[in-house]
Amino acid sequence: MTDRATTFASVKDLIEPFNAKGVELDESTTFAGDLEWDSLTVMDFVASIEDEFDIVITMNQQAEIETVGQLVDAVEELK
């Protein structure tokens, strides 16, 4: 697997505990629309991403991230 594919797989695993509706995940899955996450869920999830990859995603950066693919790209950049 490429680095990006590995990151994608890890992100998918981290989404699962918050994926209450069992939405099928791909690059274009949106957090607000498809996963229907509220701001509190986002907060918990972002903390788990930060801990897993040992990165910091500022709230300002989070505002720009709408899809799973965009998150994976951001993680790749911040790692």
| 32 is an interface residue for another protein by CB under 8 A | no
Quote the CA–CA distance of 20 and 18 in Å, as a whole number: 6
> Using the rule CB under 8 A, which residue among 5, 9, 32, 47 binds another protein?
47
| 58 is an interface residue for another protein by CB under 8 A | yes
Quote the CA–CA distance of 73 and 66 in Å, as a whole number: 12
Q: Find the binding residues for another protein in span 1-30 (CB under 8 A).
A: none
Quote the CA–CA distance of 53 and 74 in Å, as a whole number: 11
Interface positions with another protein (CB under 8 A): 38-41, 43-44, 46-47, 50-51, 54-56, 58-60
